[in-house]
Structure 1
């Protein structure tokens, strides 16, 4: 039996509820009393929901969030989005890029799940939640920097479906060493505001990014964005737009740990 995509349009009649599972996240959506009620449940409470069917009474004490809606509002949909902060990505072991060399890496970034629903017959975003909770990381020196997430998957040289969750976003980055010296790739500070999400088969992909890296602490790293994913997923269809649009070029200051200060993970 082929199940519908989790990103398809859904409808809830008044008094009905639905459940959707995304790795460590379970979302319950309840339509009642001209309200959307949404509960985000983690693995620790998932056993309370086992065996529940349409029409059953939901458990007490769920962490409901509520949005007022019109009496005719019925439609809703989930969609994947990138985390709300930059992500720190590591290879499995440090890799030394030769002078003027370049290499492509596959990154698996767990998607956040965004819920949109009809509010007075206008589709609006209610909220979003992480499918997997990532640890916090700090990019920069202790007195100046930016709060990020630490990726739970390593940057890889090949794409292997079995090693990533269904809700991981396959993101490709080509790193080019523009210096005359060997560049150690230990950690990458990766912004996602210019990445859109695509669906290729049942898998999530992002458009390809290329980073020109250097060693100088005061130099900028140029980033070029492609409009489509890399290689075999180039014919994927877009399902979520980039937060700040897909731009041809952008800049990162100090993308690599060898360029700026320290990285600290909790």
Structure 2
């Protein structure tokens, strides 16, 4: 069960030296241990990406079973005992496929809320500390998005319920929600089979309800099946009113950019 009063798994945490502390963020189990001259980080993910539990910095009485974990060590002159966890958007665009067919008639605009899996950046809780590592909360499948094997790009693949109302999103502490407008200015009915979300071009925000959101975006389909005019909607009313920036885009895009947004022939 998710404790709706305490979904904020990110921030600065003080952990006792020489003891393992554990977090659970959705499907990810994360362990950290501060030692005299190093940090040890261990982790594993459940097989179900929709696992929603949250556990924050609890002490482990026993050593975690390293046979089931990936382990990394970081040598530091002054490791301290304060750790910072920061959510990050994915490092590749995400191609989402609606779970049920979605059609948009000509001249109509659809508003969808799409959730994508985030990653965790881990660092010491000090000013200008470098990121020790970045862990995906759940490693999605790769997909190739493009017309052929020469023209396109590597992306992550994901399913989406493509909710049309924000109040139906529920509590998903390991996903960031993106409001997506799709404007069909073409002359025919448009089937949104797949949609490429350029999360690397978006800001990440936190809300006062401990949810993660991104910029709102708009795709305007004018003609042809795949290409669309892409725009980030500044000051969008689709975002929660109290949203604080957590991180900037990994790879900003120019506004009003024409990109391949729909359909993928190679999976």
Matched, 1:31 2:28: no
- Alignment partner of 2:246 out of 239, 247, 257: 239
CA distance in 1, matches of 2:128, 2:182: 42
Secondary structure of the corresponding residue to residue 179 of structure 1: coil
Q: Which moved more, 1:55-64 or 1:168-177?
A: 55-64
- How far did 1:14 drift? 3.4
State the partner residue of 2:257: 251
CA distance in 2, matches of 1:161, 1:116: 30
CA distance in 1, matches of 2:260, 2:12: 41
Q: Which runs of 5+ in 1 are unaligned?
A: 45-51
- How far did 1:64 drift? 1.6
Residues paired across the two proteins, number: 250
CA distance in 2, matches of 1:178, 1:237: 33
State the partner residue of 2:132: 126
Secondary structure of the corresponding residue to residue 86 of structure 2: strand
Aligned CA distance change for structure 1 residues 175 and 54 (closer, same or farther; 3 Å): same
C-alpha distance after superposition, 1:65-116 (max 9, x if no partner): 1112122633321121111211111223333322232111110112112212
State the partner residue of 1:208: 216
CA distance in 1, matches of 2:196, 2:98: 12
Matched, 1:17 2:23: no
CA distance in 2, matches of 1:248, 1:226: 12
C-alpha distance after superposition, 1:227-246 (max 9, x if no partner): 4564361321222222235x
CA distance in 1, matches of 2:206, 2:125: 24
- How far did 1:135 drift? 2.0
In the alignment, is the contact (CA less than 8 A) between 2:18 and 2:34 conserved in 1? yes
RMSD: 2.7
CA distance in 1, matches of 2:187, 2:111: 19
C-alpha distance after superposition, 1:144-202 (max 9, x if no partner): 2222111132322223133x522221111101112233322111112112211212212
* 1:25-104 equivalent positions in 2, closer than 5 A: 25-43=28-46, 53-54=59-60, 56-61=62-67, 62-71=69-78, 73-104=80-111
Q: Report the TM-score, using the length of structure 1 for normalisation.
A: 0.81
CA distance in 2, matches of 1:16, 1:228: 45
CA distance in 2, matches of 1:146, 1:174: 23
State the partner residue of 2:145: 139
CA distance in 1, matches of 2:7, 2:110: 37
Q: Report the TM-score, using the length of structure 2 for normalisation.
A: 0.81
Q: Which moved more, 1:185-194 or 1:131-140?
A: 131-140
Aligned CA distance change for structure 1 residues 237 and 228 (closer, same or farther; 3 Å): farther
- How far did 1:3 drift? 4.3
State the partner residue of 1:8: 11
CA distance in 1, matches of 2:46, 2:106: 46
Q: Which runs of 5+ in 2 are unaligned?
A: 48-57
In the alignment, is the contact (CA less than 8 A) between 1:92 and 1:156 conserved in 2? no
